[in-house]
C-alpha cells in the first residue's frame, strides 16, 4: 500500500475541482449529519461535476471548546466555528451567556483564527486534532448537544469504485411535473424488494419549482434486480445519473495524530 498525502483545501468546491482536474486522485467531503441533516452544497456539487462516489465513512463527531493557553471560560465573548458545528453546540454556547457565536468557513479555520490573532476573549469549536495541530488548549470537551452525533463523509473519484461486499448505490433523477410521477419512480424499487435508504430533493437549477431527487438504495449495479430497476427508471425520468455503487461505511471514532 502507498502512503496517502493529504491536501487540505479551503472549500468543498475546491475539493471537487481538484479531483475532477486530477490534481488529486480522491476527495473526501461531508454529505450528511445525523443531527442537522444534509449538506446541500455537496449534493449540488455532485451533480455539477463528472465524478463518482467510491466509498463512505461515518465519523463520530466530538466538538471541543478550544482556546489559547491561560484563557478562562468567563473571558470568552465570541465562539468561532463552522455554522454546522455552532448549531450542534447551541445549548452549550447558550450556557456561556455572554458569548456570541460567529460563523467561519470551517472548524480548523476557527482554531487558526484564534491562534494567529492571539485572542484572549474568544474560543473555537473544533476537533481535538485541530487543537493539537495549532498548539492550543481544550477548555471543554464533548460540548455537542447530542453525543450520538455522526457525520457521513463520501469519497469522490474520477473513476468508478469497486463494488464488492455489502454495497449501496446513489443516483440522481428528475421526473415530469405530473401526478404520480415520483410514486411511479419509486415503485420500480418496491416491486423488486429493493430497500431505499435515503431520498433528498433539491431544486432543479434553471427550472423554478421543479426538483431533482437524490436516492440511496441497498445493492450494487452488479446485481440483476438493481440493473432492471435502473433500466425501468430511465424510461420514466427526464434526467438520470448514477453517482456510484460503493461499499457501505462503518461508524468510526477519529484517531489523534501528534505533530
The superfamily (CATH) of domain 64-147 is Periplasmic binding protein-like II (3.40.190.10)
pLDDT tens digits for range 184-239: 999 999 999 999 999 999 999 888 989 999 999 999 999 999 999 999 999 999 99
Architecture of domain 12-59+151-251: 2-Layer Sandwich (3.30)
Indicate the pairing of strand 27-33 with strand 211-218: unpaired
Q: Is 151 a catalytic residue?
A: yes
Q: How many beta carbons lie within 10 A of that of residue 140, not counting itself? A: 16
> Which pTM does this prediction carry?
0.84
C-alpha cell at 209: 419549482
CA–CA separation, 206 and 195 (whole Å): 32
Among residues 54, 107, 151, 175, which one is catalytic?
A: 151
Going by pLDDT thresholds of 50, 70 and 90, the confidence category of residue 62 is: very high
Q: Is 237 a catalytic residue?
A: no
CB contact at 8 A, 107 and 85: yes
Going by pLDDT thresholds of 50, 70 and 90, the confidence category of residue 87 is: very high
Going by pLDDT thresholds of 50, 70 and 90, the confidence category of residue 250 is: confident
Domain ranges for the chain? 12-59+151-251, 64-147
Among residues 153, 173, 213, 217, which one is catalytic?
A: 153
Nearest to 195 by CA among 216, 220, 172, 218: 218
CA–CA separation, 123 and 65 (whole Å): 6
pLDDT tens digits for range 100-139: 999 998 899 999 999 999 999 999 999 999 999 999 999 9
Amino acid at each position: 500500500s502507498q502512503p496517502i498525502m493529504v491536501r487540505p483545501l479551503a472549500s468543498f468546491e475546491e475539493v471537487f475541482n481538484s479531483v475532477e482536474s486530477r490534481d488529486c486522485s480522491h476527495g473526501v467531503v461531508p454529505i450528511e449529519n445525523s443531527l442537522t441533516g444534509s449538506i446541500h452544497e455537496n449534493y449540488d456539487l455532485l451533480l455539477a461535476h463528472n465524478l463518482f462516489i467510491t466509498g463512505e465513512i461515518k465519523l463520530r463527531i466530538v466538538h471541543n471548546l478550544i482556546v489559547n493557553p491561560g484563557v478562562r471560560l468567563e473571558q470568552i465573548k465570541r465562539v468561532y466555528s463552522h455554522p454546522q458545528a455552532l448549531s450542534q453546540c447551541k445549548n452549550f454556547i447558550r450556557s456561556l451567556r455572554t458569548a456570541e457565536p460567529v460563523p467561519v468557513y470551517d472548524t480548523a479555520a476557527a482554531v487558526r483564527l484564534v491562534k494567529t490573532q492571539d485572542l484572549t476573549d474568544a474560543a473555537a469549536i473544533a476537533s481535538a486534532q485541530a487543537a493539537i495541530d495549532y498548539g492550543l488548549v481544550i477548555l471543554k470537551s464533548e460540548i455537542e448537544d447530542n453525543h450520538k452525533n455522526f457525520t457521513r463523509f463520501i469519497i469522490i473519484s474520477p473513476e468508478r469504485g469497486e463494488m464488492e461486499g455489502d454495497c449501496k448505490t446513489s443516483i440522481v433523477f428528475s421526473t415530469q411535473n405530473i401526478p404520480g410521477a415520483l410514486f411511479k419512480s419509486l415503485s420500480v424499487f418496491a416491486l423488486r424488494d429493493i430497500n431505499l435508504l435515503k431520498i433528498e430533493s433539491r431544486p432543479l437549477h434553471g427550472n423554478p419549482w421543479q426538483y431533482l431527487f437524490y436516492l440511496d438504495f441497498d445493492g450494487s449495479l452488479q446485481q440483476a434486480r438493481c440493473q432492471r430497476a435502473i433500466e425501468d427508471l430511465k424510461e420514466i425520468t427526464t434526467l438520470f445519473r448514477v453517482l456510484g455503487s460503493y461499499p457501505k461505511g462503518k461508524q468510526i471514532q477519529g484517531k489523534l495524530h501528534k505533530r
